[in-house]
């Protein structure tokens, strides 16, 4: 019994350098983005290679994973949002203008929205609270709150019954470095690895 407890604690201790490295990388990313004028909440997680340009605000507990966020026209992402491998564009060209002028329109993504892989949000669109954009969808119109849209162009396929307000998207995305208190309590307890209280 005593050897098992020591073994569990050693396994947990081996995870510490990896968690420290993840947290340090997040800290550096947040500082780098802040220097470029991007407002990222300290609890938000930026994973993988993301291209973030312009006036972007990312809310609390939001996860952005390998996405292109074009904020030249203004991009506001609320809290508890998941953006995975998506493209959000706030600039386009006026096709009827002889000078082919660039036109900027802000995009707003309200809290608890989810934007899945290869989805594209076009300029001037709003994704309502709890809205879900399915993989590969091209959003050319606003998405109403609590609706699921799919296709090109995106169309409503169903209503959403509840938002993920009790879920921690950061943990679901595979990022575990954000909650040191919980990690420390697991380390201090004799809970087997992989099971959190």
Predicted confidence (pLDDT) per residue in 128-138, tens digit: 999 999 999 99
Q: Do 124 and 91 form a contact (C-beta atoms < 8 A)? A: no
Residues annotated as catalytic are 93
Predicted confidence at residue 197, as pLDDT, reads 44
The pLDDT value given to residue 20: 74
Q: Compute the Cα dihedral for 107, 142, 124, 93 and give only its sign.
A: positive
| Cα–Cα distance for residue pair 41/44, rounded to 1 Å | 5
Report the distance separating Cα 70 and Cα 23, nearest Å: 25
In this prediction the pTM is 0.78
Q: How far apart are CA 83 and CA 66, in angstroms?
A: 8
Q: How many CA atoms lie within 13 A of 91 on its CB side?
A: 13
pLDDT of residue 166: 76
- DSSP 3-state of 103: strand
CA–CA separation, 135 vs 63, rounded Å?
16
Distance CA 119, CA 183 (A): 34
Pairing of strands 132-133, 147-150: parallel
Hey, what are 5's tokens?
């407890």
Q: Give me the domains of the chain, ranges plus CATH numbers.
A: 2-179 (2.160.10.10)
Q: What is the pLDDT of residue 188?
A: 52
Burial class (CB within 10 angstroms; exposed 0-12, middle 13-18, buried 19+) of 68: middle
pLDDT of the residue at 125: 96
Which ranges of the chain have pLDDT less than 50?
Answer: 181, 191, 193-197
pLDDT (0 to 100) of residue 48: 87
pLDDT of residue 133: 97
pLDDT score of 162: 87
Contact between 98 and 116 under an 8 Å Cβ cutoff? The reply is no
């Amino acid at each position: 019994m005593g050897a098992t407890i020591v073994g569990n604690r050693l396994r947990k201790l081996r995870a510490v350098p990896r968690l420290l490295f993840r947290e340090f990388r997040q800290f550096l990313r947040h500082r780098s983005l802040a220097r470029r004028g991007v407002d990222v909440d300290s609890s938000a997680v930026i994973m993988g290679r993301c291209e973030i340009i312009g006036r972007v605000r990312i809310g609390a507990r939001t996860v952005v994973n390998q996405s292109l966020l074009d904020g030249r026209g203004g991009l506001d992402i609320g809290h508890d949002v998941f953006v995975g491998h998506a493209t959000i564009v706030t600039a386009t060209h006026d096709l009827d203008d002889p000078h082919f002028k660039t036109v900027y329109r802000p995009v707003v993504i309200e809290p608890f929205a989810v934007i899945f892989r290869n989805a594209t949000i076009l300029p001037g669109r709003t994704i309502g609270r709890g809205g879900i954009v399915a993989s590969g969808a091209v959003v050319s119109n606003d998405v109403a709150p609590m609706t699921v849209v799919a296709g090109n162009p995106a169309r409503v396929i169903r209503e959403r019954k509840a938002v993920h307000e009790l879920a921690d998207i950061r943990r679901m995305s595979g990022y575990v470095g954000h909650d040191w208190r919980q990690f420390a309590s697991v380390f201090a307890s004799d809970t087997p690895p992989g099971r959190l209280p």
